[in-house]
Amino acid sequence: MQTDRDESLAALNWLIQAGADEAIGDSPRDRMAPPPPAPPPAPAETAPRVSAVPAGDGALISNDAALASAQSLARAAATLDDLRAALTTFDGCPLKQTAMNLVFADGNPQAKVMVIGEGPGAEEDRQGLPFVGVSGQLLDRMLACIGLDRTTAYITNLLFWRPPGNRSPTPSEIAACLPFVERHIELVDPNYLLFVGGISAKTLLGRREGILKLRGHWAHYQHVGLTRPIPAMASLHPAYLLRQPAQKRLAWRDLLALKAAIRSGKDPLLAS
């Protein structure tokens, strides 16, 4: 017992000599003790993990909630003005947080042809209008070749906000915009659709092939709210054509097919 006391006093003295002369906790703690056993593993998750996107007020909303909100807002829009207003209140697409402006549409909503691109770039974001940058200028020239302009065509995108740095949109960003695009098509109810670029063609036609496979063929765009399927032509994006000018001949063929369909006034997939 005496030895224990002497050893404790010697240890205390050693600590004091070492400068540890102040208590920092109410009770002693054995820092040399082995760590406590690890807690048992958490039970397996039963629900799938959902990622979340920031809401306008900084809170997070799940992708499922974003989709549900997009569907109900889009469905409730009875006019194009309603649809645009619905997009201004929608906080389920994270692209809205980084974009300067909503880019809704340009052109004539009564037009027979509705053009759907991918998403706004820097100039479109600045002006709040689709296809007004360099690729938009090429699109205008392409449409002019078949006698169309912004009074005889209606132009929009699959995404209503610019992806930062013009990166490719993520599947959840596309999914958040899609109910609005589907309602957009229903409200405009064009005779013909022109999808420019692989992302809009694949998404709206529900196909997996690349644009070089999809382009040049008529397909029917179908959706529950439509009274009939709408003939759709997929073609090359003007931004791609600026990088690969030799491919303009393919886009030219697609535009001629669209021109012939407009002239005939028929659905090229039904016309005999």
Positions touching ligand URA (CB under 6 A) are: 117-121, 124, 130-131, 133, 135-136, 157, 197, 239
How far, in Å, CA of 52 to CA of 62, rounded?
4
Nearer to ligand URA, 118 or 182 (CB): 118
Residues 6+ apart with CB under 8 A from 134: 123, 242
What is the nearest approach in angstroms of ligand URA to the Cβ of residue 55?
Answer: 26
What is the nearest approach in angstroms of ligand URA to the Cβ of residue 117?
Answer: 3
What is the nearest approach in angstroms of ligand URA to the Cβ of residue 178?
Answer: 15
Nearer to ligand URA, 69 or 107 (CB): 107
By C-alpha distance, which of 166, 134, 160, 167 is closest to 239? 134
Token duo for residue 69: 């909100």
How far, in Å, CA of 112 to CA of 105, rounded?
15
How far, in Å, CA of 87 to CA of 262, rounded?
31
What is the nearest approach in angstroms of ligand URA to the Cβ of residue 250?
Answer: 18
- Residue 178 has phi, psi (to 5 degrees) of -55, -45
What is the nearest approach in angstroms of ligand URA to the Cβ of residue 156?
Answer: 8
- Residue 53 has phi, psi (to 5 degrees) of -120, 150
Nearer to ligand URA, 133 or 179 (CB): 133
Cβ-proximal residue to ligand URA, closest one = 117
How far, in Å, CA of 183 to CA of 225, rounded?
8
What is the nearest approach in angstroms of ligand URA to the Cβ of residue 116?
Answer: 9
Nearer to ligand URA, 69 or 221 (CB): 221
How far, in Å, CA of 129 to CA of 122, rounded?
11
Residues 6+ apart with CB under 8 A from 208: 202
Nearer to ligand URA, 69 or 120 (CB): 120
Nearer to ligand URA, 92 or 136 (CB): 136
Residues 6+ apart with CB under 8 A from 72: none
